Structure 1
Amino acid sequence: MVARVRPRQLALALPHAESLTRDNFLEGAANAQALALIDAWPDWPNRVMMLVGPEGSGKSHLASIWATEAGARSVAAHTLTAVNVPGELATGALVVDDLNPGGFDERALFHLMNLAREDEAFVLMTGRTPPSVFAVELRDLRSRLRALPVVTLTPPDDQLFRALIVKFCADRQMTMDESIVSYLATRIERSFAAARQAVELLDAEALRQRRPVTRALAAEVLRDSAA
């Protein structure tokens, strides 16, 4: 007699929208300076500012808060061209997201920084790497980037890290008690990206197995992800 093998159920990878409002931003020592910059606008030390931090550290969330307040447009750094710079700056404020080495048009960025100064517009750039270390061919742009004021977001402390896990669960409408939050917080890398990934994996496995989120399930997920 041949045993029947139950088919492995697949969890649907449905999108989960994060709320990027000011009220939904988690404050902590890791992002205090960056949040202070957003709140200080328009009294910035420079027309062009940059937020630098690791993946998931809240750069895009802060940029979204500022964009709402300043009426700013948003553009991905790799899509910026010299031709569309004037149009992107039309509202007098612009977010340039994900500015990283080798991922942008140098002439377009130089034109943007010059036009922002001439038109007295504001630009907020975000990226994972300080612009002072970019390998840039245009000497004038290299000089501008080295002088660009940067505010750095640092890794989360314990309190913020636990709050992030709770927030990522709330974004996915997951219920998780404090014991599971503590279990995850002490067993995964203390980074924004690791917290997000752990919650995503736990949610997917709970859906696949049609099980509630428990400490035992969290242990299984962490063990499988480390294998």
Structure 2
Amino acid sequence: MAGSVQPRQLALALPHAESLSRDDFLEGPANAAALSLVDSWPDWPNRIMLLAGPEGSGKSHLAAVWAGEAGARSTTAHALTAAAVPGALATGALVVEDLNPSGFDERALFHLMNLAREDQAFVLITARVPPAAFQVELRDLRSRLRAVPVVTLLPPDDRLFRALIVKFCADRQLSVDETVVSYLVTRIERSFAAARQAVELLDGEALRLGRPVTRALAAELLRDA
């Protein structure tokens, strides 16, 4: 029909699973210490260890690798309750994800740390910032947290940053060439989260427009970024 408007294609927000195997972990100077910690288990300096780093830096990936090796169960810090602690430690190893300054039960975490020490269990905690910066009311928990060794994941160097972009594209089955990667490297913030967000944006827009992911498309989307 003359003058009719073509319907705008909608991009469906389908889940994209990322591989969390040891072989798919991208190594670099930024995460070398954290990877070494996971690979050195059970010869840890302390039975409770903490991985700290920004969003998307690989903490959960490393925690998943370690959980597979150690037979660890996994929980989030905000979901941990005192009643659940014995069951969480039943296998002798536990991952506690996303410990943040205000989103956890202090008594539950204190109980967990005490029981892990009594049972000689291993615990791997992930957080965006070291717990030394937390405002913790329980004095004994505060001292325990400050005594936990922290291994920090640093911002990515150029080589790792480029590899991350390629991996995020591969996870979404996007075919991109070197021109796209090079453009993104020079146009987006050098962080894990920014790389992931840029690839998500490109994927969604390419699907909506029915176009391949090219440097031209990237330039259109990031021109005002």
TM-score interval, normalised by the smaller of the two chains: over 0.9
- Distance in structure 2 (CA, Å) of the matches to 1:223 and 1:13: 24
Q: TM-score, normalised by structure 1?
A: 0.97
- Distance in structure 2 (CA, Å) of the matches to 1:57 and 1:147: 23
TM-superposed CA distance for 1:96, in Å, is 0.1
Please say if 1:125 is aligned against 2:131: no
Runs of 4+ in 1 over 4 A off after TM superposition: none
Task: State the Cα deviation string for residues 26-56 of structure 1 (Å, max 9, x = none).
Answer: 0000000000000010000001000000000
- Distance in structure 2 (CA, Å) of the matches to 1:213 and 1:141: 50
**Residue 114 of structure 1 corresponds to which residue in structure 2?**
114
- Distance in structure 1 (CA, Å) of the matches to 2:146 and 2:203: 43
**Residue 47 of structure 2 corresponds to which residue in structure 1?**
47
**Residue 137 of structure 2 corresponds to which residue in structure 1?**
137
**Residue 66 of structure 2 corresponds to which residue in structure 1?**
66
- Distance in structure 2 (CA, Å) of the matches to 1:195 and 1:5: 35
Q: What letter matches 1:8 in structure 2?
A: R
Task: State the Cα deviation string for residues 117-138 of structure 1 (Å, max 9, x = none).
Answer: 1000000000101101110000
Aligned residue pairs, count: 225
Moved more, 55-64 or 127-136: 127-136
**Residue 183 of structure 1 corresponds to which residue in structure 2?**
183
TM-superposed CA distance for 1:196, in Å, is 0.3
- Distance in structure 1 (CA, Å) of the matches to 2:115 and 2:212: 54
Please say if 1:204 is aligned against 2:184: no
**Residue 165 of structure 2 corresponds to which residue in structure 1?**
165
> Any gaps of 5 or more consecutive residues in structure 1?
none
TM-superposed CA distance for 1:223, in Å, is 2.6
- Specify the SS of the correspondent of 1:186: helix
TM-superposed CA distance for 1:7, in Å, is 2.4
- Distance in structure 2 (CA, Å) of the matches to 1:138 and 1:8: 56
TM-superposed CA distance for 1:3, in Å, is 3.7
**Residue 19 of structure 2 corresponds to which residue in structure 1?**
19
Please say if 1:218 is aligned against 2:218: yes
**Residue 34 of structure 2 corresponds to which residue in structure 1?**
34
- Specify the SS of the correspondent of 2:99: coil
Please say if 1:4 is aligned against 2:14: no
- Specify the SS of the correspondent of 2:100: coil
Task: State the Cα deviation string for residues 145-191 of structure 1 (Å, max 9, x = none).
Answer: 11110000000000000000000000000000011100101110000
Q: What letter matches 1:96 in structure 2?
A: V
- Distance in structure 2 (CA, Å) of the matches to 1:4 and 1:53: 52
Task: State the Cα deviation string for residues 80-135 of structure 1 (Å, max 9, x = none).
Answer: 00011000000000000000111100000000001001000000000101101110
- Distance in structure 1 (CA, Å) of the matches to 2:198 and 2:7: 25
Residue identity over aligned pairs, in percent, reads 80
**Residue 85 of structure 2 corresponds to which residue in structure 1?**
85
Q: TM-score, normalised by structure 2?
A: 0.98
TM-superposed CA distance for 1:220, in Å, is 1.0
TM-superposed CA distance for 1:6, in Å, is 2.5
> Any gaps of 5 or more consecutive residues in structure 2?
none
- Distance in structure 1 (CA, Å) of the matches to 2:135 and 2:191: 27
